[in-house]
Amino acid sequence: MPTYTFRNPESGETLTKRLKFAEYEAVRSGEQKVKSEEGVTLELVFDPGAVGFVLKDGVSDGWATKAMRENKYRKGRSQQMAQREKDHVFKSRLVPNYNGQEASNWKEVQEHVRSTKGSASASTYDPLVAKERQGAAS
């Protein structure tokens, strides 16, 4: 039920009351009067700041329940597909080579570059050698 603001014309104080839509229409048209605890007839006040509503799920499930269910399904499915990809998808490996000549590992390429171009050029292969060592360690 929506909440409406009323004003006491005698004291000027405002208060809020919850009314059903049908009751609100009756108060607005003048068919029904809302009275305070002292018996004073209250005036309906336009108060756009007090507008609010709550969405609730009904018997047939509301959009909120369906969205939560869909999000839960997608989260589980995402994890399941990540595991499937990890188990079944071929992961290509970067093949070490220098000038088109394949090598067995990056350390071998680095040593060849060190002997032909010098240690400054060979140092550019340090990240690849370190990554290869890390992969071999695990």
Query: Residue 117: inside a domain, yes or no?
Result: yes
- The residue segments making up the domain with residue 112 are 97-137
In terms of Cα–Cα distance, which of 53, 40, 42 is closest to 16? Answer: 42
Looking up tokens 């007839």 gives 41
Query: Residue 71: inside a domain, yes or no?
Result: no
Query: Residue 56: inside a domain, yes or no?
Result: no
Say what angle helices 106-116 and 126-137 make with each other, to 10 degrees.
Answer: 150
Residue 72 has pLDDT above 70, yes or no: yes
Query: Residue 87: inside a domain, yes or no?
Result: no
Radius of gyration of the chain (CA): 37
Percent of the chain with pLDDT over 90: 41
Between CA 62 and CA 55 the distance in angstroms is 8
Kindly state the average pLDDT of the residues 32-58. Answer: 80
Mean pLDDT of the chain: 86
For residue 125, what pLDDT band results from cuts at 50, 70 and 90?
very high
Query: Residue 43: inside a domain, yes or no?
Result: yes
The pLDDT value given to residue 50: 59
Residue 122 has pLDDT above 80, yes or no: yes
Q: Long-range contacts made by residues 18-25, C-beta under 8 angstroms, separation at least 24?
A: none
Kindly state the average pLDDT of the residues 68-78. Answer: 94
Provide the domain count of the chain.
2
Q: Interior CA angle at 121 toward 118 and 124, to 5°?
A: 145
Query: Residue 35: inside a domain, yes or no?
Result: yes
Residue 138 has pLDDT above 70, yes or no: no
SS3 of residue 125 by DSSP: helix
Query: Residue 14: inside a domain, yes or no?
Result: yes
Report yes or no on whether pTM surpasses 0.75. Answer: no
